[in-house]
Amino acid sequence: MHRRVGWIRDNGGVTTTRPVIGVLALQGGVAEHLAALERGGAVPRPVRRPEELAGVHGLVLPGGESTTMTRLLDGFELFEPVRRRLAAGMPAYGSCAGMVLLGSRVLDDHRGRGGADSATPAVGVRPLAALDVVVRRNAFGRQADSFEADLDVEGIDGGPVHAVFIRAPLVEKVGSDVQVLATVEPVGQGPAEPGGREPHRPDPDGAPAEASVGTIVAVRQGPVLATAFHPELVGGDERVHRQFVQMVRAC
Amino acid sequence: MTTGPTPANNTARGAVTGTDGVKRGMAEMLKGGVIMDVVTPQQAAIAEEAGAVAVMALERVPADIRSQGGVARMSDPDMIERIVESVSIPVMAKARIGHFVEAQVLQSVGVDYIDESEVLTPADEANHIDKWPFTVPFVCGATNLGEALRRISEGAAMIRSKGEAGTGNVVEATRHMRRIRAEMRQLSVLESDELYAAAKEHRVPVELVREVAETGKLPVVLFTAGGIATPADAAMMRRLGAEGVFVGSGIFKSGDPARRAEAIVKATTFYDDPDVVAKVSRGLGEAMVGINVEDLPEGQHYAQRGW
Q: Pairing state of beta strands A161-165 and A147-151? A: antiparallel
User: Is residue B213 in a domain?
Assistant: no
- Let me know: does A251 contact A241? Beta carbons within 8 Å: no
Q: Show the domain range for B267.
A: 20-171+218-285
User: Is residue B228 in a domain?
Assistant: yes
Query: Which residue in B9, B16, B112 is closest to A142 by CB distance?
Result: B112
Whether B278 and chain A come into contact, CB under 8 Å, resolves to no
Whether B108 and chain A come into contact, CB under 8 Å, resolves to no
Question: Is the Cα torsion angle B215, B218, B220, B222 positive or negative in sign?
Answer: negative
Pairwise CB contact (< 8 Å): B7 & A186: yes
Residues 156-215 of A with CB under 8 A from B: 160, 164-167, 170, 184-189, 191-192, 211, 214-215
Residues 4-23 of A with CB under 8 A from B: none
Whether B26 and chain A come into contact, CB under 8 Å, resolves to yes
CATH number at residue B138: 3.20.20.70
What is the predicted ipTM? Answer: 0.90
Domains in chain B, number? 1
Please name the amino acid found at residue A25. Answer: A
Alpha carbon distance B143, A118 (integer Å): 45
User: Is residue B301 in a domain?
Assistant: no
Alpha carbon distance A116, A107 (integer Å): 9
Alpha carbon distance B56, B225 (integer Å): 12
Closest-CA residue of chain A to B5: A116
Query: Which residue in B26, B135, B270 is closest to A166 by CB distance?
Result: B26
DSSP string of A175-189, one letter each residue? -TTPEEEEE-PBTT-
Give pLDDT tens digits along chain B (307 positions): 333 333 333 334 678 999 999 999 999 999 999 999 999 999 999 999 999 999 999 988 888 888 888 899 999 999 999 999 999 999 999 999 999 999 999 999 999 999 999 999 999 999 999 999 999 999 999 999 999 999 999 999 999 999 888 888 999 999 999 999 999 999 999 999 999 999 999 999 999 999 999 999 999 999 999 999 999 999 999 999 999 999 988 899 888 999 999 999 999 999 999 999 999 999 998 887 777 777 777 777 888 888 7
Can you point out the beta strands (E) in B101-190? 113-117, 138-142, 158-161
Provide φ and ψ at A194, rounded to 5°. Answer: -55, 130
Give pLDDT tens digits along chain A (251 positions): 444 445 555 454 444 689 999 999 999 999 999 999 999 999 999 999 999 999 999 999 999 999 999 999 999 999 999 999 999 999 999 999 999 999 999 998 654 444 556 677 888 899 999 999 999 999 988 999 999 999 999 999 999 999 999 999 999 999 999 999 999 975 433 333 333 333 333 344 444 343 345 489 999 999 999 999 999 999 889 999 999 999 999 98
Whether B183 and chain A come into contact, CB under 8 Å, resolves to no
Pairwise CB contact (< 8 Å): B13 & A116: no
Which chain A positions have a beta carbon within 8 Å of B33's beta carbon? Answer: 27-28, 64-65, 68
Q: Give strand pairing partners of B110.
A: none
Which chain B positions have a beta carbon within 8 Å of A63's beta carbon? Answer: 28-29
A96 catalytic per annotation:
yes
Between helices B171-188 and B231-239, what is the axis angle to 10°?
Answer: 10
**How many residues does the structure list for chain B?**
307
Pairwise CB contact (< 8 Å): A72 & B266: yes
Domains in chain A, number? 1
Q: Show the domain range for A244.
A: 2-250
User: Is residue B66 in a domain?
Assistant: yes
User: Is residue B110 in a domain?
Assistant: yes
Closest-CA residue of chain B to A118: B5
CATH number at residue A163: 3.40.50.880
DSSP string of B24-79, one letter each residue? HHHHHTTTT-EEEEESSHHHHHHHHHHT-SEEEE-SS-HHHHHHH-S---PPPHHH
CA atoms within 13 A on the CB side of B43: 26
Please name the amino acid found at residue B288. Answer: M
Q: What pTM did the predictor assign? A: 0.89
Which chain A positions have a beta carbon within 8 Å of B29's beta carbon? Answer: 28-29, 63-65, 96-97, 166-167
CA A166 to chain centroid, in Å, comes to 14
Query: Which residue in A170, A185, A230 is closest to B12 by CB distance?
Result: A185
List pLDDT tens digits, range A3-61. Answer: 444 555 545 444 468 999 999 999 999 999 999 999 999 999 999 999 999 999 999 99
Rg, C-alpha atoms of chain A: 17
Q: Pairing state of beta strands B245-247 and B34-38? A: parallel
Write the CA distances from A63 to A28, A30, A95, A165, B8, integer angstroms.
6, 8, 5, 10, 20
Q: What is the DSSP letter of A193?
A: -
Provide φ and ψ at A120, rounded to 5°. Answer: -70, 125
